[in-house]
Amino acid sequence: MGSNTFFLLFMLASVLALILVFMALRRIHKEGLTVSEQPKQQHFKRSVEDVQRQQREEQTVRDMTSDTGSTNVSYTKRGFVKNVEVGFDEVMENVSRALRMAGFQILNDTDVMAVLQKKNVPKYRLLLIYHTELAERVFNIDPSIGLIASGVSIRQDLSDTVHIEFSDPSLQQETANHPDLQKITSELREKLMDVLQAA
């Protein structure tokens, strides 16, 4: 094979390769994104959704606290917190009573310091709670989820201030992206805020 023939075949193969690359890029462009942009766009979309969700949650808490006029309830990444200058045992009674009146049941009550076998330290209790009526509605929508249980942390610090923290049910992975359960978790948040205000 002569050098001219080899050169022509090489040029033909190069042109064919360029045509294939051009067609592939045109197809990707027609679908709206280049290959390099797709992961960035998806990551950016997820980040925006996370930020918007966080902003909605914080706005909900601001709305709730402004409705009640309370300034001692704050929102954390885990849930709602209230700090009170009342004795620990009285806080436990107030929380338990407010939970019962709002339709909650206590599934579990753990004395953290007893579990850790700590003595002469501030008191610390963890409660696992669920709302009877809302739990039944959740079960009817998706039995695989079971109960939407919330955690309640009641902790006394060294200055005798008692911190009451309710976990935010809307942060549970099972319900966060479930459109039929978002209304229920919203109702549950409101009930938890009412309990926290009453405690």
Domain-by-domain residue ranges, the chain?
70-198
pLDDT at position 67: 43
pLDDT at position 179: 73
pTM of the model: 0.61
pLDDT at position 80: 85
Q: What's the average model confidence in pLDDT over 177-191?
A: 81
In 3-state terms, the chain is what percent helix, strand and coil (to 5)? 60, 20, 25
C-beta separation of 112 from 125 below 8 A: yes
pLDDT at position 26: 67
pLDDT at position 118: 80
The model's confidence at residue 194, banded by pLDDT at 50, 70 and 90, is confident
Q: Which CATH architecture has domain 70-198?
A: 2-Layer Sandwich (3.30)
Backbone angles phi, psi at 102, to 5 degrees: -90, 0
DSSP code at position 144: T
Which residue type, as a one-letter code, is found at position 132?
A: T
Helix (H, G, I), strand (E, B) or coil at 115: helix
pLDDT at position 114: 85
Q: Is the pLDDT of residue 188 over 70?
A: yes
pLDDT at position 5: 65
Q: What's the average model confidence in pLDDT over 150-162?
A: 90
Q: How far apart are CA 192 and CA 4, in angstroms?
A: 84
Backbone angles phi, psi at 111, to 5 degrees: -85, 105
Q: Give the contacts of 76 (CB within 8 A, at least 6 positions apart).
A: 165
Query: What digits encode the pLDDT tens for the residues 55-114?
Result: 665 555 555 444 444 447 777 777 889 999 889 999 999 999 999 999 999 989 999 888
DSSP code at position 121: S
pLDDT at position 70: 47
